[in-house]
Chains A and B, each alone.
Chain A
Amino acid sequence: MLLRSTEGGWGPVVRAFHWLVAVLIVAQGAIGLVMVDMGLTPAKLRVFALHKSIGLTILALVLLRIAWRLTERRPTDPPAMPHWQRRMARAMHIALYLLILALPLSGWWFNSAANAPLVWFGLFDVPSLTHGYAPAWKPRALLLHEALFWLLVALLVVHVGAALWHHFKQRDDVLKRMLLGPRRKSGDT
């Protein structure tokens, strides 16, 4: 099927999920860092609400993305890739999936413990994970949200570095087969 990944490359669904989630996470991280330093104004509260709504959207997309990915095969690795690198790449990708799942969950958890409102883009109420105010969990949830974010930043540096290394040093198609646009056949340049 056209939507599916093949031996030669990722299908359009995987690639669309990859870039949609990537763009949202970069924007979300920037919004998060900026908003916490804003003075207390109605604008700050609206930016907080936006951060939460985008974060929940990311959570939903990541769940769909993982569900789809579990039904997919992986394109074959470049033949030149040593065994340890293949294992590292797999471990890295699993870690990234877990992080982009845990990060929005930790934000939701913090928001619940703080007993702050949670309305997805002003449209519907999202339930609390803590059944109301849970001040004792607040500092732990916030610390987790921040720690997971910086851990994700660190892994993304490695992830992007590895993609560029494949493209410019190894000159294989690992980066190209994730890019958007018409499907490239393996071996094209």
Chain B
Amino acid sequence: MRWIFVLSGVALAYGMAMPAVAATWQVDAAHSTLEFTNSYQDVRYTGQFKRFTAKIDYDPADLAHAKFDVGVDITSLDTQNSERDHAALGANFFDAAKFPRAHFVTTAFHKGAGGTVVADGTLTLRGISKPVELQVRFAPHGDDATLDVTTQLKRLDFGIGSGQWADTSLIGDRVTVHGHLVMTRAASTQAPSH
């Protein structure tokens, strides 16, 4: 009988170790987007950062080992309006010359209302670090998955538009950020095919 206990102990240990390893994902940059929506003169517009990297460790059954680490190239901003992009990257707003990168890293995950998953993390933008919560929606399809994250930020919290540009009747304070990641399970952790 003893060997059964040993065996199940090994299986248990393996089973517990598995998710942390099995949950690493490779992000398909060509099909993933990082968008934000804001208002300008009361008209909503959407912009995106065309270049960003995301390291994703995620298994919904093992949130304790989940981790997102996202780096954003601020200069890849595109709001479909060259004057606006140019102004937004300038010293009054993102100040991309001084702060060319933004960084987000999770600190913990928890269950929110209605069983949704919330990622707590720190966003560093324009040299300012603030806690940020992401709403997480994860949809696996075998070895592929999509990960949608959404959050609401205030541009003024990060000093984006100060002085006369702090006027929120011209440029709205609230910014909704939405990341859509298309991912495949990292090769080394692919589930064995049966």
- Chain A residues within 8 Å of B, Cβ to Cβ: 40-42, 45-46, 49, 114-119, 122, 125, 132-133, 135
Main secondary structure of the interface of B (DSSP, over half): mixed
Segment of B7-15, B35-43, B100-108, B148-156 in the binding face: B35-43
Q: Which residue of B lies closest to A132 (CB)?
A: B80
Report if B165 contacts A (CB, 8 A). yes
Given contacts A132-B80, A135-B82, contact A119 B41 (CB under 8 A): yes
> If A40-B87, A42-B164 touch, does A115 touch B43 (CB 8 Å cutoff)?
no
| A133 proximity list for chain B (CB < 8 A) | 80-81
Q: How far is the CA of A152 from the CA of B83 in the complex (A)?
A: 28
Q: Chain B's nearest CB lies how many Å from the CB of A179?
A: 39
Q: Which residue of B lies closest to A134 (CB)?
A: B80
Q: Is the Cβ of B41 less than 8 Å from the Cβ of A115?
A: no
Quick check: is B143 within 8 A (CB to CB) of the other chain? no
Task: Flag if A125 contacts B43 (CB, 8 Å).
Answer: yes
- Residues of B close to A132: CB separation below 8 A: 80
Cβ-defined contact, A117 with B170, below 8 A: no
- The interface residues of chain B lying within 8 Å CB-to-CB of A118 are 43
Cα distance A172–B84 in the bound complex, in angstroms: 54
Is B167 part of the contact surface with A, judged by Cβ < 8 Å? yes
Contact A119/B43 with A40-B87, A42-B165, A45-B170 known, Cβ cut-off 8 Å: yes
Q: Spell out B's residues near A (CB within 8 Å).
A: 40-43, 45, 80-84, 87, 164-165, 167, 170
Which of the listed residues A42, A46, A119, A125 has the most CB atoms from chain B within 10 Å of its own CB? A42
Query: Are B164 and A41 interface neighbours, CB within 8 A?
Result: yes
Contacts of B164 in A (CB 8 A): 41-42
Tell me if A45 and B41 are in contact (CB < 8 A): yes
CB distance from A145 to the nearest CB of B (A): 15
Minimum distance in angstroms from A44 CB to a CB of chain B: 11
- A115-B80 CB under 8 A given contacts A41-B164, A45-B170, A46-B170: yes
Can you sample 21 A-B contacts with CB below 8 Å? A40-B87, A41-B164, A42-B164, A42-B165, A42-B167, A42-B170, A45-B41, A114-B81, A114-B83, A115-B80, A116-B81, A116-B84, A117-B42, A117-B43, A118-B43, A119-B41, A122-B41, A125-B43, A132-B80, A133-B80, A135-B82
Q: Give the 10 A-B CB pairs with smallest separation, nearest first.
A: A117-B43, A133-B80, A117-B41, A115-B81, A115-B80, A42-B170, A42-B164, A42-B167, A117-B40, A119-B41
Chain A residues within 8 Å of B167, by CB: 42
Instruction: Give the residue name and chain of the A residue nearest to B40 (CB).
Output: A117
Q: Which residue in chain A gives the minimum CB-CB distance to B78?
A: A133
Across the interface, name the chain B residue whose C-beta is closest to A46: B170
Chain B residues within an 8 Å CB radius of A125 = 43
Q: Taking CB as reference atom, which chain B residue is nearest A43?
A: B164
Closest CB in chain A relative to B92 CB, distance in Å: 8
Chain B min CB distance to A45 (Å) = 6
Q: Establish whether residues A49 and B80, one from each chain, have CB atoms under 8 Å apart when the complex forms.
A: no
A49 to B42, CA, bound (A): 12
Residues on A with C-beta less than 8 A from B81 are: 114-116, 133
Partner of A122, one of B42, B82, B84: B42
